Amino acid sequence: MTGQLKETMNIKFENFVDTLDGEDLFDKTKRLDEVLSSGVLTGNEALGMVTMNKVQPESGIKEKDGSVHSVIMLGSNSYLNLSTHPQVMQGAREALEKFGYGMGAVSNYAGITDIHKELETRIARFYGTEDAIVFPSGYGANVGIVSALCGKNDIIINDAANHASIFDGCVLSGAEIKVFPHRDMKYLERILSRIPDEKTGRLIITDGVFSMDGDIAPLDRIVELAQKYNCRIMVDDAHGVGIVGKTGRGAAEHYNVMDKIDLHVGMLSKGPGGLGGYCAASKKITQYLRLYARSYFFSTALPASVAGGLNEVFKLLETDNAGRKKLWDNINYLKEKLVKEGFDIGHSQSAVVPVMIYDEAVLFEMYEKLRQRGVYVNIVTYPAVRRKECRLRLCAMKDLTFEQIDRAVEIIAELGREYGIIK
Ligand SMILES: Cc1ncc(COP(=O)(O)O)c(C=O)c1O
């Protein structure tokens, strides 16, 4: 192990969070600055680098030192390349011309247009619900929905791998929070069976497709358990919408339980390639959220141009014409190649493909070298996952060619062998 790697071991994300006795509030920022500028790898080196093109399979990136080079892009959540789809961009352009670039008001005042209303109608139709509400950010959607619907007398039961925004919403709600190990249905039932009868406000929350593992929540079992123990269900299908399920309607369609989910939450920022979050549900629920979800009530509405682009996205998704089949060819090809090289890719069932590294110091070095050698992937460690489960996170994208995937996997495999991750 190099000296640099050894030193890295003591530098932890959470070291800088707490202010010690007698310290100024900002001292933690100075301590962090010293470490980041010391030359020791911390995994943060490329965070905040600049991309030079719209989302596309080969992109220019500008490193923090100002150097520019080209990478094969395996780190974008725009899995279907809809952020650059001509029909989508035209929809955005037309709305931009009509309404300008910002809304200047929250949704409940003068912040929404017919274009926004059309988007909500399209999302509701996509899920077969009475209505849908669109939030200006995905993070804000989860925080707002959970904290509006749950309070101190309620109990929320979460998969441990749920997104941070869900946990933040839980904390804000003041409800009792329970967590079951990732996809562990026995443990979930153990929690449910011990909830006192008088605690009747019960919500099970799970990601549909998990953002760091790419696997799908066992919604068939979750529905059974929710029915048995009188719980409501919320599914955040940020990474499933448009991609998994027979017609791309996500994890609930994959398990044929679309009509059993109380709150279909999703993000407009991943597969749909735009921005924002939504909840498709009954009219009574959306009406309640419009008044009590604080991240909706107190936050300026989505720009009309984004909503205009998203209307075109949902036209493509409704008819399953967004290129899902081509994306799946790439997902399967990428996964096959990685497995053939000997990598552990977990149990991915989506466009998110983890490559398990299990050693944080190696992860940081590999991430650096991959970029230098022309492959961009995401780096995932604490606090997104446990340190010992650290990994590279690869995203398949529809417009990648097999040749680009070949080249990327070859480079990842060379480094994997160099660091002893594969033989
Ligand atoms: C599962 C999940 N939920 C919510 C979010 C937040 O969405 P957004 O980035 O659109 O705010 C993300 C984004 O990383 C996510 O992966």
| Residue of minimum CA distance from atom 16 in ligand 1 | 211
Residue 403 is which amino acid?
E
Report which ligand 1 atom has the smallest distance to the Cα of 277: 10
For the chain, residues classed under CATH 3.90.1150.10 are: 35-80+323-418
Rounded CA separation 61/48 (Å): 11
Q: Where are the beta strands (DSSP E) in 143-201?
A: 155-159, 176-180
Band of pLDDT at residue 40, cut at 50, 70 and 90: confident
Q: Which residues on adjacent β-strands are paired with residue 236? A: 207, 265
Please write the tens of the pLDDT for every residue from 343-371. 999 999 999 999 999 999 999 999 999 99
Rounded CA separation 362/420 (Å): 10
Nearest 10 degrees: Cα torsion 125, 126, 130, 136: -110
Rounded to two decimals, the pTM is 0.95
Question: Residue 170: which H helix or E strand, with range?
Answer: helix 164-173
Report which ligand 1 atom has the smallest distance to the Cα of 276: 10
Q: Which residues on adjacent β-strands are paired with residue 209? A: 216
Q: Ligand 1 center to residue 139 CA distance, Å?
A: 6
Rounded CA separation 219/159 (Å): 12
- In the residue annotation, 107 being an active-site residue is answered as no
Q: Say yes or no to pLDDT of 1 above 80.
A: no
Q: Which strands sit side by side in the sheet containing 58-62, from one edge to the other?
A: 50-51, 58-62, 68-74, 375-380, 391-395, 352-356
Q: Catalytic pick from 239, 254, 264, 335? A: 239
Residue 16 is predicted with a pLDDT of: 79
CATH 3.40.50.460 fits 88-318, yes or no: no
Instruction: Supply the DSSP symbol for 410.
Output: H
Q: Ligand 1 center to residue 165 CA distance, Å?
A: 7
Please write the tens of the pLDDT for every residue from 128-139. 999 999 999 999
Q: Ligand 1 center to residue 22 CA distance, Å?
A: 37
Q: Pocket around ligand 1: residues whose beta carbon is below 6 Å from it? A: 137-139, 142, 163, 165, 207, 211, 236, 238, 267, 269, 277
Mean pLDDT of 249-271: 98
CA angle at 13 for the pair 9 and 15, rounded to the nearest 5°: 85
For the chain, residues classed under CATH 3.40.640.10 are: 88-318
Q: Which two tokens stand for residue 342?
A: 């000997």
Residue 188 is predicted with a pLDDT of: 98
By most ligand atoms within 8 Å of CB, the mutation choice from 163, 210, 216, 243 for ligand 1 is 163
Report which ligand 1 atom has the smallest distance to the Cα of 268: 10
CATH 3.60.60.10 fits 35-80+323-418, yes or no: no
